[in-house]
């Protein structure tokens, strides 16, 4: 009879052998949207937790999950890094910060467009923060949204250099003809985030050891993916996205086989846990697929942090009466986490009496101001044609 104490390691060995024998040509399994029920998500987390019982076993599993994401996203091995050729222009100065329009080439001729927010009057080097965005459309969707501008400006006023950048087919990318339904969207967006870290670290005023990332919804997906894949991220705050039963409804989140193969099953709660032991904040709400976070996803993630004896490095701010989005209250939950872990300077922004971070000095810019290329500064001639398939191998 097998002793109960050796079952976890026997199971682990079995999974390892299974992983080695997985067929690389198998048909991709996609976990899209509400791939399974809330009850099945709880069972899946239990199954996953049974595959490791100590830090070494978790690290081995972490490596497998990371490799599966990279392979599923067609980023394994990682593509060669090509010159970013950054364009930074049209500086606007406001109260305590500046904004510039900026673009980098994630692949030769493939632009990632954005805005670079920098502190004014604070001594550097500064923390660097990536701000991806979610799927909300409208005339001021994506990085042009007022809530996105508010968080970037507030973080810059507290001493961070922030890059807010378009998903493919949003903002300037949309203006220049790209469609979000591009078949390589997940690959391109994940690689773009990795290159945005390179961009921030290339700036003289950024401290390479203080890189953070925060995004909401589809931007939350980009947040936990880049955190899982790139150790240069030191602090991570995915907002209203980390769920064990919902895998993301868009092909840029769940349209490639990153979650499940015949060798290994995972979900977005576990992918978020790959941040450990680096500080991780989950903001969740009662009004979307993060409604169970305090009782389901967060305990699973905290248990991973406990393996490192770093349970205090992860927090969950839950708002049972709030809906999906990165509104004022959720930004107020994120700011202190970034201040604490990226050593930002909140003087002049944080009010001790109200315990709130003041956003009233932020300027909301117009769409035209935020554009990178315009009539006076046209797109370089070598830019790829909209919709091009990116050949990077
Ligand atoms: Zn998408």
Query: What are 390's two structure tokens?
Result: 């990116």
Is there a contact between 241 and 290 (Cβ–Cβ < 8 Å)?
yes
CA of 136 to the centre of ligand 1 (A): 10
Q: pLDDT at position 17, please?
A: 39
Q: pLDDT at position 393, please?
A: 84
Residues contacting residue 172 through CB under 8 Å, at least 6 positions apart: 103, 111, 113, 166, 371, 372, 373
CA of 271 to the centre of ligand 1 (A): 18
CA of 360 to the centre of ligand 1 (A): 31
CA of 185 to the centre of ligand 1 (A): 7
- β-pairing, 356-357 with 280-285? unpaired
Q: pLDDT at position 24, please?
A: 65
C-alpha to C-alpha distance for 170 and 177, rounded to whole angstroms: 10
Vertex 140 angle, CA 139 and 143, to 5°: 140
Polymer length of the chain: 393
The CATH fold of domain 87-370 = Rossmann fold (3.40.50)
CA of 1 to the centre of ligand 1 (A): 51
Tokens 């019982």 found at: 53
CA of 251 to the centre of ligand 1 (A): 6
Q: Residues 112-163: pLDDT tens digits?
A: 999 999 999 999 999 999 999 999 997 789 999 999 999 999 999 999 999 9
pTM score above 0.75: yes
Q: pLDDT at position 26, please?
A: 79
Question: Domain limits of the chain?
Answer: 87-370
3-class secondary-structure state, position 210: strand
Ordered strands of the 280-285 beta sheet: 87-93, 97-107, 110-119, 160-165, 126-131, 206-216, 235-239, 280-285, 314-319
Q: pLDDT at position 23, please?
A: 66
Vertex 258 angle, CA 186 and 16, to 5°: 155
Which ranges of the chain have pLDDT less than 70? 1-24
């Amino acid at each position: 009879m097998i002793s109960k104490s050796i079952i976890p390691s026997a199971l682990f060995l079995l999974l390892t052998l299974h992983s080695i024998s997985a067929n690389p040509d198998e048909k991709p399994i996609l976990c899209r949207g509400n791939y399974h029920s809330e009850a099945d998500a709880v069972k899946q987390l239990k199954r996953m937790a049974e595959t490791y019982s100590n830090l070494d076993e978790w690290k081995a599993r972490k490596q497998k999950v990371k490799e599966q994401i990279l392979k599923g996203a067609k980023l394994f091995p990682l593509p060669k890094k090509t010159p970013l050729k950054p364009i930074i222009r049209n500086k606007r100065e406001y109260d305590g910060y500046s904004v510039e329009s900026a673009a980098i080439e994630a692949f030769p001729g493939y632009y990632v467009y954005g805005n670079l927010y920098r502190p004014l009057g604070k001594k550097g080097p500064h923390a660097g923060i990536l701000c991806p965005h979610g799927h909300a459309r409208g005339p001021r969707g994506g990085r042009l949204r007022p809530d996105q501008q508010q968080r970037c400006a507030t973080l810059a006023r507290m001493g961070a250099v922030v890059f807010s950048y378009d998903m493919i087919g949003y903002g300037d990318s949309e203006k220049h003809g790209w469609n979000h339904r591009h078949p390589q969207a997940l690959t391109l967006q994940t690689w773009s985030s990795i290159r945005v870290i390179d961009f921030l670290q290339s700036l003289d005023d950024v401290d390479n050891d203080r890189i953070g990332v925060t995004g909401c919804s589809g931007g939350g997906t980009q947040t936990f993916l880049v955190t899982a894949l790139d150790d240069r991220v030191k602090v991570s705050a995915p907002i209203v996205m980390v769920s064990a039963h919902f895998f993301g409804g868009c092909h840029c989140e769940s349209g490639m086989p990153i979650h499940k193969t015949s060798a290994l099953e995972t979900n977005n709660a576990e992918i978020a846990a790959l941040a450990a032991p680096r500080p991780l904040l989950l903001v969740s709400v009662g009004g979307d697929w993060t409604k169970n976070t305090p009782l389901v996803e967060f305990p699973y993630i905290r248990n991973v942090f406990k393996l490192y004896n770093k349970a205090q490095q992860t927090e969950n701010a839950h708002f049972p009466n709030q809906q999906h989005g990165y509104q004022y209250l959720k930004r107020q939950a994120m700011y202190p986490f970034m201040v604490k872990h990226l050593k930002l300077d909140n003087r002049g922004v944080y009010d001790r009496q109200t315990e709130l971070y003041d956003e009233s000095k932020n300027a909301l810019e117009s769409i035209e101001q935020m554009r990178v290329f315009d009539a006076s500064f046209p797109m370089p001639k070598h830019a790829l044609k909209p919709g091009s398939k990116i050949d990077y191998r």
